[in-house]
Chains A and B, each alone.
Chain A
């Protein structure tokens, strides 16, 4: 193998992959804005305890349902007001970013790892194994994702961890299909044949030769799943099947605030706005990633 790689032509005159990627990515202004917002979100999640002015579960009994600072009756002690139990909204929102970030990361990692491995196997395995795997994926895809996640959580018991497991299982088939489709088209190509002729084993062919060339659509899908995972986890929390109170998870906060919607708009508006802005930023970024990574859509 060592002699082989030494004889491959040098490609130094090409711009580095990262710089080329950034060139296409930065052409999409929305994507860059999305990236900045997402970075702010990540910083918020990382340094939440330092940024939050109060403890998210601390109750200020004298300041129950206090409106935001700019509204009459509000004060800068609680910039975004307080909730029905007198907890500071801003602190809860900042801490909530941790849960959403955590959900996104865990779900995407689990779903991508599992999905890519199953997809690679499916693409390289004998026909009957492939058919079997694809039928199983079809079966999972027949259930609306939120419903299946809801039922899985009903089996496992409501908690944020179980919600993440359920969402990861529901997302798996997308990666399996995506990986398998790219593997099937890559397998035909000459470089794979030459690697096989050079004596590469099945595992090397799968993970070193073919997989890197299938990554682009998977990365794009991962970015989009990150936002869908946050949405689904919030929806489960909202239905009482995700994170349990008093966890300051955004969906759970919305569920707790429901009965106050006509009295205190801020307890409902801010958690939802946080979800929307985060999801929107990630989706903008995902669109930019697709433009930058998918050669078919690249403007030549």
Chain B
């Protein structure tokens, strides 16, 4: 098991270096001089320009620049935002809880509905339930989520007035951020109605962000269940006279879960990509919106740092999924 973990880690290091190289190159392949962009419309004197070249290290050889960048990254130094002048690292971790909270809720939503939907479809293979569920899953899978978000806003915010259109909580409430998770912070604040407000703000973004993972999980669960239900040990369990609930729920689902867990892990990338659209539409103050805003503001250090951090998160989650997969499924480990 330890050897397996080491080999996975051995693949992680070169990929990590490659990712840092790409994010390092990003600011250097941009059209135009980043320092001029930073100066904006005010322009800048020649001395100040030279000062900035030295400060940003553009006067050194490229290899040296990359090495300095890498050392900086390892120390949590991703540069400063052109716009806010705050360290990118601090900004990232100030906004990340919002994205994490939304992603976790979306994942819970997707798993809570997707798993049962897949199991029901597999058990009723070819019947009405199967066809209805799988057709809906295909629609969900094909959904342009930015349009889905707008539709939900029209119906639930516009026509019915049930949910707010944007933000994480009503402006009425103000409390210090303890964990960064609005659901927990609003409970800790003890203000009446704050928690309900946070929940109401979460509903639509959660549905929007969770839709594609929900469809993927439902489809994957169904096919994994169908495969397992054809196995000999399921026939044995049936022959022993176990109840269908016990067979489907205990014997089959447990084995069908292995590929499903991989899919759940691999959905993290999808979630982060979806967060870009979802957060932009719902003005959710997370890293997705932060990235899009920074691209439009030409705040290159933020784009560079955010790109790196997101890639590292995806890689870490993939590593975790691989290791978990090795623990659950011994066949993989011995390869």
Using CB atoms and an 8 Å cutoff, list the residues of chain A in contact with chain B: 30, 135-136, 138-139, 142-148, 150-151, 154-155, 157, 227, 231, 234-235, 238-241, 251, 254, 258, 261-262, 265, 268-269, 271-273, 275-276, 279-280, 283-284, 287
Contacts and interface: CB of A to CB of B under 8 A. Distances in A.
A227 B142 contact: yes
Contacts of A251: 144, 146
B314 interface: yes
A147 B68 CA distance: 25
The 10 closest A-B pairs by CB, nearest first: A272-B147, A144-B273, A139-B18, A146-B273, A279-B142, A280-B142, A142-B311, A262-B158, A144-B269, A275-B144
B31 A157 contact: yes
B142 A254 contact: no
Contacts, number: 121
A276 B139 contact: yes
Given A138-B11, A142-B315, A151-B303, A239 B151 contact: no
A146 B277 contact: yes
A144 B19 contact: no
A268 B142 contact: no
Interface of B is mostly: helix
A138 B142 contact: no
Nearest to A138: B15
Contact of B22 (A139, A261, A262): A139
18 contacts: A138-B18, A142-B311, A143-B314, A147-B272, A150-B295, A151-B303, A155-B26, A155-B31, A234-B144, A238-B277, A241-B295, A251-B146, A261-B150, A261-B154, A271-B147, A273-B147, A280-B138, A283-B142
Interface string B1-34: 0000000000100110011001000100111000
B141 to A, nearest CB: 7
A269 B26 CA distance: 37
Interface in B153-205: 153-154, 158
A252 B276 CA distance: 16
Interface of B: 11, 14-15, 18-19, 22, 26, 29-31, 135, 138-139, 141-144, 146-148, 150-151, 153-154, 158, 269-270, 272-274, 276-277, 280, 291-292, 295-296, 303, 307, 310-312, 314-315, 318
B276 A146 contact: yes
A135 B153 CA distance: 42
The residue among A30, A154, A231, A261 with the most chain B CB atoms within 10 A of its own CB is: A154
A231 B295 contact: no
Contacts of A227: 142
A151 B306 CA distance: 11
A126 B57 CA distance: 39
Contacts of B303: 151, 154
Contacts of B26: 151, 155
A282 to B, nearest CB: 8
A261 B273 contact: no
B321 to A, nearest CB: 13
A154 B34 CA distance: 13
Contact of B150 (A136, A148, A239, A268): A268
A280 B139 CA distance: 6
Contacts of B296: 240
A136 B18 contact: yes
Contacts of B14: 135
A155 B29 contact: yes
Contact of B146 (A136, A143, A144, A254): A254
A13 B18 CA distance: 53
A150 B150 contact: no
Nearest to B145: A235
B118 to A, nearest CB: 16
B15 A272 contact: no
Given A142-B315, A276-B142, A279-B144, A239 B277 contact: yes
A138 B319 CA distance: 12
B146 A235 contact: yes
Contacts of B148: 272
A145 B268 CA distance: 12
A86 B30 CA distance: 38
B144 A231 contact: yes
B292 A150 contact: yes
Given A147-B272, A147-B307, A261-B154, 19 more contacts: A135-B18, A142-B15, A146-B276, A147-B273, A147-B310, A150-B276, A150-B291, A151-B295, A154-B303, A157-B31, A235-B146, A235-B277, A251-B144, A268-B150, A272-B151, A276-B144, A276-B147, A279-B144, A283-B138
Nearest to A148: B307
Contacts of A240: 296
A279 B144 CA distance: 9
A267 B6 CA distance: 54
